[in-house]
Amino acid sequence: MAGVGDLPAELVLMILRFAVGEPAATLRGWRARLPLLAVCRQWRRLACRLVHGQALVERRAGGGWGSNLGLAAALGLEGCVRHLVLDAQAAATGAVVRAHPRACAAVQSLAIRGGPDDCAAAADGGGGGAAAAAAAAHGGDASSALSGLAALLPSVTRLYVGTCAGAVGGRLADALAGQLCRIGCQAPVALQCARLAGGLTHLSLALGRGPGGQLPRVCAPTLRVLRLARVPPRFAWGAFGGSDICFERLVELQLLFRSPAPEDDGDDGCAAPPPRLRFPRLRRCHVEGCPPHGAPFAAAQLPAAMDSLTLAGAPEAALALSRTGLARVGALAVRVQLAGADQRALYGALDRLYGQVRVAGEAALALAHRRAELDLGCAAWPRVTRLSIHGPCDLAAVAGLVERAACLRRLEVYALALDRLPAAVAMPDPADDAAPPLPPLPSRIETLTLYADADADCAPPAAAAAAAVRCLLLRLPLLKRANLSGALGVHPAALGRAFGRRYPHIAAALVKVY
Q: Does residue 437 register a pLDDT over 70?
A: yes
Q: Does residue 495 register a pLDDT over 60?
A: yes
**Mean pLDDT of the region 466-486:** 82
Domain ranges across the chain: 372-514
Q: pLDDT tier at 30 (50, 70, 90 boundaries)?
A: very low
Q: Does residue 251 register a pLDDT over 90?
A: yes
Residue 21 confidence (pLDDT): 46
Q: Per mean pLDDT, which of 50-59, 178-187, 215-224 is the most reliable?
A: 178-187
Q: What is the tens place of the pLDDT at every residue in 51-62?
A: 554 566 555 544
Residue 225 confidence (pLDDT): 93
pTM equals: 0.72
Residue 252 confidence (pLDDT): 94
Residue 143 confidence (pLDDT): 64
**Mean pLDDT of the region 399-423:** 82
Residue 459, Cβ density class (10 Å: 0-12 exposed, 13-18 middle, ≥19 buried):
middle
Contact 275, 297 (CB under 8 A): no
Q: Does residue 128 register a pLDDT over 90?
A: no
User: What mean pLDDT, rounded, does the chain reach?
Assistant: 70
Q: pLDDT tier at 274 (50, 70, 90 boundaries)?
A: low
**Mean pLDDT of the region 477-482:** 86
C-alpha separations of 281 from 151, 278, 294 in Å: 36, 9, 20
Strands 225-231 and 202-206: parallel
Cα 228 from Cα 188, distance rounded (Å): 11
The distance between the two most distant Cα atoms of the chain, rounded to a whole number of Å, is 98
Q: Does residue 415 register a pLDDT over 60?
A: yes
Cα 383 from Cα 369, distance rounded (Å): 22
Q: Per mean pLDDT, which of 115-124, 151-160, 171-180 is the most reliable?
A: 151-160
Q: Residues of the chain with pLDDT > 90: what percent?
A: 2
CA-based radius of gyration for the chain: 30
- Choose the weakest-confidence range: 239-243, 309-313, 379-383, 443-447: 239-243
Q: When comparing pLDDT for 428 and 401, which is higher?
A: 401
